[in-house]
Every structure is written in structure tokens, then in C-alpha cells.
Structure 1
Amino acid sequence: MDTRERLIESARELLWERGYVGTSPKAVQQRSGAGQGSMYHHFRGKPDLALAAITRTADDLRGRAEAELSAPGSPIQRITTYLRREREALRGCPVGRLTQDPDVMADPTLRAPIEETFAWLRKRLTDVLAEAQRQGELDGELDLADTAAAFVAVLQGGYVLARAAGDAGAYTQAVDGVLGLLSGHVR
């Protein structure tokens, strides 16, 4: 991994662990093993590095979700696989946790990849649900956009419940609950 990549990966980890304020340039340099000159050679400053890290994290989330949502299997199987994928529930979502960071949310440039990711995810889930309806897997009474938004909310809320309880089982319970609700619409 070259220096630029080490800086981005280190910033990603620190943003997930500590948030924006807790991710100092010095901490990134220490974790990456890069010097101050290297950091400022590749990035104009902390906001520029944070944007690269947030964008990479958001791209990663979309890539993993797309791989599961476009995999072989029925639409409901793919959604179930996506929702039940093993996650680090006690660490929280690396994208969702950034929404709790006032400095990130106050900066439209840093907030943009987060907004775009959640909008993309809601749309992608809506599309897979529509596919399930077209194939007769789901009844026609289910509001697809509302259901997709509920899936995203349950995932993010599941992380919060797990972190609050110190128990990943709370996350699993939330996912199982929403899948149970969905099963009432499966034909």
C-alpha cells in the first residue's frame, strides 16, 4: 500500500473509532506511519483527507451492498442476505456513525457522500423490492420506497441498539423483526 492509501485507510479507521474531531492529522500520521510532509503532499489538509476517507468508506458500503443485492437468487433471498450479513454491530456502521458527528454534518462537502450513500441504498432496495413484486414474490400492497427506508432505518437503529446494550444480539433481533414483517407480504 502506498503512502496515500495508508493515509486514507488510517483516516477511515480513526473516523470510525473517534469521529472527525478525534481524528487529528497527527493520529493519522502515527497510524499510517507517514510523515507530516507526506500527508500534506497528498492532501491539502484534514478536511481533504477526511473527504477521501469518507468517500472510500461510502464506496465500500455501496460495493458490498451491490454485490449482495445483485447476487444470484430471488429478490427476497438477496435482501435477506444483505440484511443478515455479518456486521460489526458493536462498532456501528462506519457511514451511519458519521451522521452523529456534528462537524461532518455541518460541512456540506463531508456530508455529501453520506447523503448520497443512503439515498442510493434506499433506491437500490426499492428496485430489488420492485423486482420481487414483478416476479410475484411480494404482494402489490407493500409500499416499496417506505419499506426500503424502513430496512435502512432498522439497520442503523440496530447498530444503535447493539451499542447501547453492549450486545450484538440486539442488532440481530432488529433485523429478524423487519424480516418477519416483510414475510407477511411474501406470496
Structure 2
Amino acid sequence: MSTTPERLIASTQELLWERGYVGTSPKAIQQRAGAGQGSMYHHFSGKPDLARAAIRRTAEQRMALAEEQFSAPGTAVERISAYLRREREVLRGCPVGRLTQDPEIVADPVLREPVAETFAFLRGRLAAVLTEGQGLGELDPALDAASTAATVVAVLQGGYVLARAADSAEPFHQATEGVIALLTARELH
């Protein structure tokens, strides 16, 4: 059984993903967590404090998931492909990327910080994997690792947007397979 603060954070994570910041009320958080108002305010100073904890937790979880693929065995393209192809709830959108569409989060530097850190981490790790692949002779040495990493992140996030707009995971899969094909074309054989 999880503690009350853990249930509050987990509930807030889910609600932020489903409804965004404005649509996530303290009452909804309390109901989902099975916690009373007193418990919530005993552990957190209010909705912004709880949202910070939830966004930070979501960011940490997403970075850990990505790191599993980035540090796994295989070539650079194999590891990046595994990251792009891992199972996702595509039609729900990215739990971090969706936060960038929330004006309340974007306007608050403290709430935005873990979101920005997550994308900086992803770009940095992808660039490192690509650079490693270049160093091992797997990838074209002329490939710009930083720009390519930014492209991979942009394609992934754009794939979520396209999928949600179409109410189909197919555009997401087309986008990720397209970027994998571009990376594969840069492999040295």
C-alpha cells in the first residue's frame, strides 16, 4: 500500500496527463488518491506544490525509461530504434510533451523546469548515442549529432500530435519509422 503523498503525486500525474493543469482540481486529486483535503494540505502547500512534485516524478520516470534503451546493448541506430518503438499510449500523447501545451505550466518557470530538463536530457542522450555510433564507425562522421537528436525528439513529439489529431496511432508509427529509415540511411556498412 502506498503512502498518502505517493497516492497524491500519482493521482496528480494521471490527472495532469488527462486534463492538464487547469482541469486538475484539488478535489479531483483527492478523490482519485482517496485522500482528504487535510491530508493533501498536510503534505503539500497547495496545488502548485503538488503539481511540481507530480511533473518532476513524470519527468524522472520518462528519462529513466529512455535511458533503458539508450544504455542497452546494440548499435546506435538499434538503441534509438528501440526507444522510438517502445510501447506507448500514443493516443494519450506524451505525458511530458502534453504539458508544453498547458499555458499555466509554460508560464510558470518552476512547473516548466522539469519539462525543459526532460527534453534537454533526451536531446543530449540521443546526441551522445549518435556520437558514440560515429566513434565506433557505425554512422557517417559528417552527421550532425546535436541537430539529428533534436530532429528525433521533434519527430517523436510531432508523431503524438498527428496521432491524436487523426485518432489513430498510424501517423505516429509512420513518423517514427520514417526517422528510423533516415538514421539507417546514415549507417556505414
1:21 match: 22
1:95 match: 96
Is 2:124 the counterpart of 1:123? yes
- Name the SS of the counterpart of 2:23 in structure 1: coil
- CA–CA distance in 1 between the matches of 2:140 and 2:171? 29
Structure 1: tracts of 5 or more residues without a match: none
- Name the SS of the counterpart of 2:92 in structure 1: coil
Cα deviation 1:78-98 (Å, max 9, x = unaligned): 111011111111000000000
Where do 1:166-185 residues align within 5 Å? 166-185=167-186
- CA–CA distance in 1 between the matches of 2:183 and 2:117? 25
Of 70-79 and 119-128, more deviation after overlay is shown by: 70-79
- CA–CA distance in 2 between the matches of 1:25 and 1:67? 34
RMSD of the alignment, in Å? 0.6
- CA–CA distance in 1 between the matches of 2:87 and 2:152? 16
- CA–CA distance in 2 between the matches of 1:110 and 1:35? 24
Deviation of 1:147 after TM superposition, in Å, equals 0.3
Cα deviation 1:98-118 (Å, max 9, x = unaligned): 000000000000000000110
Cα deviation 1:26-84 (Å, max 9, x = unaligned): 00000000000000000000000000000000000000000110011222211110111
- CA–CA distance in 1 between the matches of 2:72 and 2:182? 23
Structure 2: tracts of 5 or more residues without a match: none
What number of residue pairs does the alignment pair up?
187
- CA–CA distance in 2 between the matches of 1:4 and 1:164? 35
TM-score, scaled to structure 2: 0.98
Q: Percent identity?
A: 66
TM-score, scaled to structure 1: 0.99
